[in-house]
Amino acid sequence: MMKKIGIILMSFLCVVFLSNSWADKDINIEVKTGIHGVGVHESKVKVGEYDVLNIGVQPDISFFLNGKINDLYFSGSGTYYEEEDQQYSASVDIKRYLTQEFTYYRFKHWLDHDPLTNLYAAATTGTNVIPPLVTYTDIESGRDYSIVRSERESKTTLRIPLELPFELKTFFNYRTEARWGERQALTMSKCSACHVVSRSKRIDEYTEDYNPGFIATYRSKKARVSFSYEYLDREFRENAMAPENYYDRAVHPGSGSNVFDDRVQYQNTKLPYAHSPRSRKYSHIVKLDSYVPSLSTGMFIGSVYSETENKEEDLKFNLKTIFTRLSSAMIPGLSFNVHFRYLDLANQSIFVDTNEPVSNAGTNAGHTWADPSHGGTYNTIDPDFTRNSAMSRRQYEVGLDMVYLLMKGITLRGSYEWREIKRDHYYVTSNDKETKEHRAKLAINARFKPPVIERPIRATLTYKYKSIDAPFANVKAAFKGETTITSNGAFSGTQYWELHEMRNLTLTNLPTLTHEIRFDTTVPVYDRLSVTAFYRWIEEKNKAVEWANKTHMPSLSIWYAPLDKLSFTVSYLYKYGKTNSLLCVPVYDG
Partner 1 sequence: MEGHTGIFAINYLFSKKLNFSISSAYTDSKAHMERIELDGPTAATQIDNGTNGFSRDYNYDFSEVQQYSDLHIRELDLACSISYQINKHFSLNVEYNYLYYGDAKPYLYDGTGRAHIGIFTLSYWQ
The correct pick among 4, 5, 11, 12 for binding partner 1 (CB under 8 A) is: 12
- Establish if 528 lies at the interface with partner 1 (CB under 8 A): no
The correct pick among 130, 365, 381, 517 for binding partner 1 (CB under 8 A) is: 130
495 in Cβ contact with 379 (< 8 Å): yes
Per the DSSP assignment, residues forming a β-bridge with 310 are 279, 315
* Residue 530: CB minimum distance to partner 1, A: 14
Of residues 407 and 582, the one with the C-beta less far from partner 1: 582
Q: Candidates 13-21, 150-158, 234-242, 256-264 — which segment interacts with partner 1 by CB under 8 A?
A: 13-21
How is 58-115 classified by DSSP, letter by letter? EEEEEEEEEEEETTEEEEEEEEEEETTEEEEEEEEEETTTEEEEEEEEEEEEEE----
β 385-387/195-219 pair status: unpaired
Of residues 45 and 225, the one with the C-beta less far from partner 1: 45
Q: Is 406 helix (H, G, I), strand (E, B) or coil?
A: strand
- Establish if 23 lies at the interface with partner 1 (CB under 8 A): yes
Q: Is 374 helix (H, G, I), strand (E, B) or coil?
A: helix
Helix (H) or strand (E) holding 302: strand 297-310
Of residues 16 and 295, the one with the C-beta less far from partner 1: 16
The correct pick among 14, 40, 405, 407 for binding partner 1 (CB under 8 A) is: 40
* Residue 522: CB minimum distance to partner 1, A: 16
Of residues 421 and 490, the one with the C-beta less far from partner 1: 490
4 in Cβ contact with 12 (< 8 Å): no
- Establish if 128 lies at the interface with partner 1 (CB under 8 A): yes
- Establish if 32 lies at the interface with partner 1 (CB under 8 A): yes
- Establish if 45 lies at the interface with partner 1 (CB under 8 A): yes
Of residues 408 and 565, the one with the C-beta less far from partner 1: 565
The correct pick among 1, 3, 24, 39 for binding partner 1 (CB under 8 A) is: 39
Which among 392, 391, 210 has a CA at the least distance from the CA of 283? Answer: 210
- Establish if 30 lies at the interface with partner 1 (CB under 8 A): yes
- Establish if 578 lies at the interface with partner 1 (CB under 8 A): yes
* Residue 61: CB minimum distance to partner 1, A: 9
Residue 435 is given by DSSP the state E
Q: Is 147 helix (H, G, I), strand (E, B) or coil?
A: strand
Q: Chain-centre distance of CA 288, in angstroms?
A: 29
- Establish if 132 lies at the interface with partner 1 (CB under 8 A): no
* Residue 405: CB minimum distance to partner 1, A: 36
* Residue 494: CB minimum distance to partner 1, A: 16
Helix (H) or strand (E) holding 387: strand 385-387
Q: Candidates 31-39, 177-185, 290-298, 499-507 — which segment interacts with partner 1 by CB under 8 A?
A: 31-39
Q: What are phi and psi of 24, to 5 degrees?
A: -90, 5
Of residues 313 and 546, the one with the C-beta less far from partner 1: 546
- Establish if 577 lies at the interface with partner 1 (CB under 8 A): yes
- Establish if 314 lies at the interface with partner 1 (CB under 8 A): no
- Establish if 36 lies at the interface with partner 1 (CB under 8 A): yes
- Establish if 491 lies at the interface with partner 1 (CB under 8 A): no
Of residues 33 and 279, the one with the C-beta less far from partner 1: 33
Start-to-end Cα distance in the chain: 54
β 385-387/350-352 pair status: antiparallel
Q: Candidates 35-43, 364-372, 491-499, 530-538 — which segment interacts with partner 1 by CB under 8 A?
A: 35-43
- Establish if 31 lies at the interface with partner 1 (CB under 8 A): yes
Q: Is 310 helix (H, G, I), strand (E, B) or coil?
A: strand
How would you classify residue 84: left for phi > 0, otherwise alpha for psi between -120 and 50, otherwise beta? alpha
- Establish if 509 lies at the interface with partner 1 (CB under 8 A): no
- Establish if 34 lies at the interface with partner 1 (CB under 8 A): yes
CA 155, CA 91: separation in Å to the nearest integer? Answer: 9
Q: Is 46 helix (H, G, I), strand (E, B) or coil?
A: coil
- Establish if 48 lies at the interface with partner 1 (CB under 8 A): yes
Q: Candidates 43-51, 171-179, 338-346, 418-426 — which segment interacts with partner 1 by CB under 8 A?
A: 43-51
Site string for partner 1, 240-269 (x = CB under 8 A): --------------xx--------------
Of residues 312 and 546, the one with the C-beta less far from partner 1: 546
Of residues 1 and 23, the one with the C-beta less far from partner 1: 23
Q: What are phi and psi of 294, to 5 degrees?
A: -65, -25
Helix (H) or strand (E) holding 415: strand 410-423
- Establish if 17 lies at the interface with partner 1 (CB under 8 A): no
Site string for partner 1, 534-563 (x = CB under 8 A): -----------------------x------
Note every long-range contact of 259-265, with CB atoms under 8 Å and residues 24 or more positions apart, other chains counting.
Answer: 259/362, 259/490, 260/190, 260/191, 261/357, 261/359, 261/360, 261/361, 262/356, 262/357, 262/358, 262/359, 262/364, 262/367, 262/368, 262/369, 263/369, 263/490, 264/190, 264/191, 264/357, 265/354, 265/355
Q: Is 404 helix (H, G, I), strand (E, B) or coil?
A: strand
- Establish if 118 lies at the interface with partner 1 (CB under 8 A): yes
The correct pick among 8, 33, 197, 347 for binding partner 1 (CB under 8 A) is: 33
Of residues 360 and 571, the one with the C-beta less far from partner 1: 571
* Residue 418: CB minimum distance to partner 1, A: 33
Site residue total, partner 1 (CB under 8 A): 59
Burial class (CB in 10 A: 0-12, 13-18, 19+), 473: buried
Footprint of partner 1 (CB under 8 A): 12, 15-16, 19, 22-23, 27-48, 51, 53, 114-115, 117-118, 121, 124, 128-130, 254-255, 557, 564-578, 583, 585
